[in-house]
Structure formats: C-alpha cells, structure tokens
Chains A and B, each alone.
Chain A
C-alpha cells in the first residue's frame, strides 16, 4: 500500500461522490461543483495509479494538465449558461417538465 494507491482510492471515492451529487442535487451551481469533484477524482486516479510502481509518471501528469484545462472550459461554459438562465428566468434549476 503506497501513496499512489491511496490517491487512487481517494480519487475513486471523490468520483463516486461527485457523480451522486450531479445526479441528485437540483441546484445548478452545486451540480457544477459536483462535476468538478468528479473530474478531480478521475485525475487523482490517473496520477495515483501510475505512481504506484515507482517514480512519478510524466505522461499522466501531462494528461491531467490537459484534463484540468478541459474541465475549466466546461465549467466556464456551464457557469455562463446558468447565468443566462438566471437572467432570463430567475431560476437556478433545470426546468424538468418536457414542455411542448
């Protein structure tokens, strides 16, 4: 049991937590936060698993850098949409009814 495996296990827990959050919570800001927790979990697993055998792995570190940037882009997009929804309707949740 080395530090890499501990990171990976923590990452798995974070991922499960984040996914449950996105699926269950109604408030949009918290869903975005939960999505970020999901992403962080996946990154932790990427880096942690690769490190369990020895020195840090530059490939996974580069992948996680890329992943963080992509997550930032997605989060910014989500926030912009939530802001627009709020400006147009005053709500901060997705309208569930399939309106015709």
Chain B
C-alpha cells in the first residue's frame, strides 16, 4: 500500500516538473557572461577551474572539508581492522602485480599532467587526485601493498596537508583583507600551489575511503 502511494507520488512529481520544464523562459541573470568577463583576472584560462578555485573557491574549501570529514568518520566507525597480508588476496597474481607496478609510473605522470592542464582545459586537483587514488587501489588489489590498518603520523599528515595548505593560503589572504581574494599577478601561481597540495591529499583521502575498510571482517 505504502509502495503504491510512494510510486504514484513520485510519478506525479516527475510529470508535473517535466511539464513545467517545457514552459520555462530564459533566465534573468546570465552568470556565464559574468564569468567570461572576469576570466582574464582570475589567474586561469579555463572557466570551470576559474569558478572552482577562484570565484566559488569557498565552496571548494568546504567540499574538501567534507571529504576529509568522510575519511575521519570511516576511521571512527570501523572496527579494529587487522592488517591484511597482501599476498592473501585472490587477485594477487604475478601477471597482475607486474602490470600494477608497470603502470605506477605512467599513472603518476598522468596525474601531474591533469593537474597542470587544469588551467587551460578540463582537469585540475580532483581529476589528478582520483587518478592517484585509483593507482593506490590497483596496487592494493594486485597485492603489492597492504591495507591501511592504523593511520600513522605520516599518513595523517598527508591526509590533512592539502586542506591545511588551502586553509593557510586562505588565512593569509584574509589577513590581507578579503577571504580568498588572490592578488591578480599571483592568482595563477597560488591556484596551482593549492591544487598541487590538494592533489596529493585528495589522492590519499579517496584511497583511504577504500583502504581503511579493506580488511575482510572476521567470519
């Protein structure tokens, strides 16, 4: 009974919204034009990166906070995961291990390229960080590295480093006057610096979301 009610209301909702969507006129405010006007002073050439790291950089700051928060909660909510023996995984076979090791180098290069290219084309810290995280997971699945049982100081520093760097840059800019207002001549360099720190941290955070949980629960 409840199922029918929910399905009917969902269908009705979708129908109403779609019907309304077809009758929309053009919006009053033209943000893309505003973005286009300000690109030259934003420090990067690609509009999405400019919005992400400059115009709405504050959103990005909070969002990294959310991601770091997720990593902390994953740690807080799990049991005492024992350290896994990497060789025990079913996928830890020599051909796969060889492949994983061989791709490590190229993956790092791709990540650095994505980070650098973000100023001119789609790319940037998130994409680069995702590639690094994928590399870490691949190495785990191939049995080359183990799971992360207890994060030591070095790992915690890596996880929080990018975020703290971003906060540090934001704070120093705030002391000068306005939060996240980059001086125009240095905007590009500051953005690259922040993104570089974020790449490493994001890679570690995303990898940790998997690797903190990787041990099999006791049967």
Contact = CB atoms under 8 A, between A and B. Distances in A.
A–B: direct contact at CB < 8 Å: yes
Interface of A: 1, 5, 8-9, 12-13, 15-17, 19-20, 23-24, 49, 52-55, 57-59, 61-63, 65-66, 69-70, 72-74, 76-77, 79-81, 83-84, 86-88
Contacts of B59: 62-63, 66
Contacts of B71: 76
A53 B27 CA distance: 9
A57 B77 contact: no
Contacts of B55: 59
A77 B209 CA distance: 8
Nearest to A86: B217
A51 B51 CA distance: 17
A81 B10 contact: no
A87 B67 CA distance: 24
B74 A77 contact: yes
Contacts of A5: 21-22
B70 A73 contact: yes
A8 B26 contact: no
Given A58-B51, A65-B52, A84-B77, A73 B69 contact: yes
B78 A83 contact: yes
29 contacts: A5-B21, A9-B18, A13-B18, A16-B11, A20-B6, A53-B26, A58-B32, A58-B50, A59-B32, A59-B35, A61-B48, A61-B51, A62-B52, A65-B52, A66-B52, A66-B63, A69-B63, A72-B70, A73-B66, A74-B70, A76-B71, A76-B74, A77-B74, A80-B74, A81-B77, A83-B213, A84-B78, A87-B217, A87-B218
Interface in B105-133: 126
Given A73-B209, A77-B77, A80-B74, 18 more contacts: A5-B21, A12-B14, A13-B18, A19-B10, A23-B6, A49-B21, A53-B27, A57-B31, A58-B51, A59-B51, A59-B56, A62-B59, A72-B206, A73-B69, A80-B213, A86-B217, A87-B217, A88-B79
